[in-house]
Structure 1
Amino acid sequence: PGATNASAGVHIAYQDSTPMILFIGQVGSDMVDREAFQEVDYRQMFAPLAKWAAQIDRVDRIPEYVSQAYHIAQSGRPGPVVLALPEDMLRESVVVKDAVRANPAKARPGQDDMSQLAHLLKMAERPIMMVGGPGWSNQVRQQVEAFCDRAALPVCSSFRTQDYIDNRHPSYVGHSGIGPIPSLKSAIEDADLLIVVGARLGEMTTSGYSLVESPNPKQTLVHIHPSASEIGRVYRPELAIVSTAQGFAEALSQVDVAPMKRDQDRVGKLHEAYLSSLTPIETPGDVKMEEVVKHVDASTDDRAIICNGAGNYAGWVHRYYQFRSFRTQLAPTSGSMGYGLPAAVAAKLDAPDQEVICFAGDGCFMMHGQELATAMKHNLDITIIVSNNSTYGTIRMHQERDYPRRVSGTDLSNPNFAKLAEAYGAWGTRVERTADFPAAFAAARAYKGPALIELMTSPEAISFGTTITKLRGGA
């Protein structure tokens, strides 16, 4: 059934805290529990993946269920809702009043919350803020940036939320994702006050729950989140504030941050360390991903939308691309392969006046490369950059690290991706040397319609920070 294909999207929405409603056609009520054609108990299937999974058995209750779905999807921590629709119910008709439009309550911090936060800030010598999670906007970003300026407070982004703060902002100190830069890692580990706005402090953000120890962090933890059930679930905060990002950002104007005990130069030093990390580390091979990403970064404007799925190729994007505007990064916090191209299609349909660029690995692209057909149908100007190293890079890296040379099932026999793009009617080209990428990128951007650049990268450059030779114990 199509709903089984949708399960990955539901899980992505759950981990990304994205409000979404999925309507599923179900077999007729007279067929239930007979293992009818394509029958699945969707309430059981989606129960662990969604905030709510239900079935509408009576046509007169459609307004009630749909209103409830909108309410649950948007309340507290937003997320996906699944509604199954039996075939016989869909054929019925009834006259019934529509439900009132869902308008979930939005949590805001109390005055005592902000007073306690102000006190903790005044006493802290090594504070740091981390941002992420749902409910952000460009206005929220600007308010948080202004507060960090005023409070001499360094701010970092949680896993794959780098567009929440302008990466050029003097208070921005890096991305707490896979392989954080050493200065940020130390700043989080050594912080005496950690203010987390919206983020869940998940596995990827905390480097396997090591940067922040569970359940009792050594840092004084202030956790701001729109869902009370999320606060304290993994970490016990000193101060828990149930609030949306917007409500908290608006309340920051009440916080008096002077006088402060801390070193006023600390933020500048951490920001400089972040800027230094943008200098590319050379990797093996004729096509160097670090140079490709740096060229894309230098060529695009502040509103360009960057999409990627899952794979080691994304590490170069997260390390070397500077996000400058809110909602310009589309990347799954669940690490779902194949996300990038469908996300790019959706982004271009939603924001036709913004440039959209999709990064993908060869294995990642093969998961949903057929969405080129959708891009062609709508004649979307998107640029797709496929890093082809003929391997499932992340899995290969783990194999070589833990069992050197004992590789199993990670080699790929790929098509010619440039020719595949042409078969769909798109523009395609192969790049086999780094020096050839700028011209190929310019041609792809100039093309009216989907354009794909296939990068012939080396599997030896298994990640932005190591090589297969090093993993095997070589120099």
Structure 2
Amino acid sequence: MNSAAPIPTQTNSPALLDTAEASVATLITNGIDTLYALPGLHNDPLCDAVYKRRDEIRLLHARHEQATAYMALGAALSTGRPQAFAAVPGPGFLNTTAALLSAEGTCAPVLGIIGQIPQRDIDRNYGHLHEIRDQIGMAAHVAKYARRIRSAQEAPRVVSEAITAMLSDRPGPAVVEAALDIWTQRAPFAPTQPIAKADDDLLDGGAVEHAARLALAAKRPMIVVGGGALDAAEEVRALAEFLQAPVLSYRRGRGVIPTDHPLAINLPQGHRLWPQVDLVIAIGTRMFIQEQQWGMDMDLRVIRIDADPEAPNRHQAPDVAMIGDAAAYTASLVSALEFGGSPSSACAFDLEAEAAWLAQRAAALEPQRSYLNAIRGALPADGIFVDEVTQVGFASRLLFPVYKPRDFISPGYQDNLGWGYGTALGVKAANPDRSVVAIAGDGGFMYQAGELATAAQHNIGLVVVVFDNGMFGNVKRIQQERYGNRIIAADLKSPDFVALAESCGVAGYRADSPAELEKALGLALERNAPALIHVRCGEMPSPWDMLLMPRVRG
């Protein structure tokens, strides 16, 4: 008698993972190899999930939640790739929100993974440790995507949706939260596919052709680039060279065209030329300064390329709006120009005269200019410079030479004091083989001075230059100039910064001149180990007449 056929054994059933493990697996799938975190009860399962896969993802812990988010921000700004941090709910989450706001303002793909109290108790005001009302609603104010992971089954999908949102259209941050009891809930795990930034194949050909006609008819065109053009450097250069149009970059757009390119101009030069411009091509920029401060009129035609559908009409409607990828649209515009006409024989502006004017004006910004020259002299050509809200930082936005995109890291319009050191730690952590120099004032550096210990803990070879003038420089200047020299809350008493650094295991140097700074910086960069250079300085001349300039049109 024949026996019944055996029942086949299932050998390829999905793995059973808990929510934390599934979330970490989804991060790894999407190329996220670092989680910046400060451990705590509500995220213990998440940290344990990272430990289990420590060969594929590392956890860099800091001394304050703000630093974890800033580190993720720096890593995102310097690479253009998604980065992640984790914090406990309530006070831990709130400590990260300044960095999330900066990520929103700088279009940085930063994912915040936030813990929560037990799921059934959320928003019931019981008094749990770190309980907060409507945490995910708060997150929605500073993130493109904010959602709670409600079960293990949906963890991979929610994390994938968050990464998709971070990379789509105008990039930006996302936040997901998970309750303590949900982290350990288990379910079958089906791996997700890596999220890729969508290619913008469907370009508006009519808009491109219209833009090309306007560009060919223009006599004095100018190109203005922002952070949205960082991945379109080659295309922007081709456009500029075809039209022989100057390219204005400032802060987030610096490096899209090299500082030493003959068509490169910066903010005050652009302001001087602005009344003569008859066409502006704005690529990946809010163009807030030009539209709201310098002024517009009916004689100025406007072409905009932007990933954000709301951006072109935020101030006034442009003549042409192309919504999508900056590189794709700029390349298409160059092709249309090459097909439709001949390039101009020369730039309509005397940029050599403008360069001479800027050099003369920059001579008034001493010692900032000399200190920046010292940093540029010691920093390799491919090194990364991290800007901070300080007197030398303001001058750097005008005077520091930048040769490639993402080599000048700036906080953008939030301009939040104290952002720099934690952000720069993330820059260096994500770019360990490149030299990274951050600057800070004595006021701003104290926001995250405790992270010197983090640099030593993880051997993050960042060099920070602290310019110490014993004051909040901008605050004091405004009080002197506008409030009858009634000085309040502007003077600062600081620690011995070198001793502070050395007590944390970070090398400390002193430099009292630009020459000493360049020498100390060279030594510190050669070591590729955490270092601080203390520069004692006094009050510095104001750069603001070259940054905030009056209306000249409209």
Q: 2:452 touches 2:504 (CA, 8 Å); kept in 1? A: yes
* Superposed counterparts of 1:300-315, under 5 Å: 300-315=379-394
Q: CA deviation at 1:274?
A: 3.3
* Superposed counterparts of 1:270-285, under 5 Å: 270=351, 272-274=353-355, 276-278=357-359, 280-282=362-364
Cα distance change of structure 1 residues 2 and 278 upon mapping to structure 2, 3 Å threshold: farther
Matches of 1:457 and 1:357 in 2, distance apart? 19
CA RMSD of aligned residues (A): 2.4
Cα distance change of structure 1 residues 19 and 189 upon mapping to structure 2, 3 Å threshold: farther
2:294 to 203, 211, 216: 211
Matches of 1:63 and 1:380 in 2, distance apart? 31
| Letter paired with 1:438 | E
**After TM superposition, which residue ranges in structure 1, 4 or more long, deviate above 6 angstroms?**
260-263
User: 1:29 maps to which residue?
Assistant: 119
SS of the residue corresponding to residue 194 of structure 1 reads strand
Matches of 1:329 and 1:295 in 2, distance apart? 16
Q: 1:124 touches 1:261 (CA, 8 Å); kept in 2? A: no
- Is 1:224 the counterpart of 2:224? The answer is no
User: 1:199 maps to which residue?
Assistant: 285
Q: CA deviation at 1:21?
A: 1.4
User: 2:131 maps to which residue?
Assistant: 39
User: 1:173 maps to which residue?
Assistant: 265
Q: CA deviation at 1:72?
A: 1.1
Q: 2:373 touches 2:400 (CA, 8 Å); kept in 1? A: yes
| Letter paired with 1:290 | R
Q: 1:126 touches 1:262 (CA, 8 Å); kept in 2? A: no
User: 1:127 maps to which residue?
Assistant: 221
User: 1:358 maps to which residue?
Assistant: 438
Q: 2:117 touches 2:180 (CA, 8 Å); kept in 1? A: yes
Once the two structures are superposed, what CA deviation does each residue of 1:293-344 show, in whole Å capped at 9, x if it has no partner? 1122233332010012223331222222110122211111021222222232
The two structures have a TM-score, normalised by structure 2, of 0.75
2:143 to 40, 45, 50: 50
Matches of 1:361 and 1:339 in 2, distance apart? 11
User: 2:177 maps to which residue?
Assistant: 84
Q: CA deviation at 1:17?
A: 0.6
Cα distance change of structure 1 residues 110 and 6 upon mapping to structure 2, 3 Å threshold: same
1:442 to 522, 526, 551: 522
Matches of 1:141 and 1:13 in 2, distance apart? 22
SS of the residue corresponding to residue 164 of structure 1 reads coil
Aligned residues: 448
Once the two structures are superposed, what CA deviation does each residue of 1:196-216 show, in whole Å capped at 9, x if it has no partner? 0011223xx44x821244xx7
Larger radius of gyration: 2
Q: 1:217 touches 1:236 (CA, 8 Å); kept in 2? A: no
Q: CA deviation at 1:161?
A: 2.2
Q: 2:242 touches 2:344 (CA, 8 Å); kept in 1? A: no
Matches of 2:298 and 2:406 in 1, distance apart? 30
Once the two structures are superposed, what CA deviation does each residue of 1:203-239 show, in whole Å capped at 9, x if it has no partner? xx44x821244xx776211111012122212331111
* Superposed counterparts of 1:237-252, under 5 Å: 237-252=318-333
Provide structure 2 residue ranges, at least 5 long, that are not aligned to the other structure.
Answer: 1-90, 546-554
Once the two structures are superposed, what CA deviation does each residue of 1:159-206 show, in whole Å capped at 9, x if it has no partner? 3321221111111111xxxxx32x31022343211110011223xx44
Q: 2:212 touches 2:333 (CA, 8 Å); kept in 1? A: no
SS of the residue corresponding to residue 401 of structure 1 reads helix
Q: Which has the higher helix share?
A: 2
Provide structure 1 residue ranges, at least 5 long, that are not aligned to the other structure.
Answer: 175-179, 467-475
Cα distance change of structure 1 residues 64 and 445 upon mapping to structure 2, 3 Å threshold: closer
* Superposed counterparts of 1:74-473, under 5 Å: 74-103=167-196, 105-107=198-200, 109-134=203-228, 136-137=230-231, 140-174=232-266, 180-181=267-268, 183-202=269-288, 205-206=289-290, 209-213=292-296, 219-256=300-337, 264-267=346-349, 269-270=350-351, 272-274=353-355, 276-278=357-359, 280-282=362-364, 288-333=367-412, 334-459=414-539, 461-464=540-543
SS of the residue corresponding to residue 403 of structure 2 reads coil
| Letter paired with 1:222 | I
| Letter paired with 1:47 | A
Matches of 2:229 and 2:342 in 1, distance apart? 30
Identity of aligned residues (%): 23
Matches of 2:524 and 2:197 in 1, distance apart? 44
| Letter paired with 1:427 | A
Q: 1:171 touches 1:271 (CA, 8 Å); kept in 2? A: no
The two structures have a TM-score, normalised by structure 1, of 0.87
Matches of 1:72 and 1:191 in 2, distance apart? 37
| Letter paired with 2:116 | Q
Matches of 2:452 and 2:416 in 1, distance apart? 18
Q: Which has the higher contact order (CA 8 A, sep 6+)?
A: 2
| Letter paired with 2:100 | V
Matches of 1:185 and 1:254 in 2, distance apart? 30
SS of the residue corresponding to residue 223 of structure 1 reads strand
SS of the residue corresponding to residue 370 of structure 1 reads helix
SS of the residue corresponding to residue 200 of structure 1 reads coil
Cα distance change of structure 1 residues 103 and 436 upon mapping to structure 2, 3 Å threshold: closer
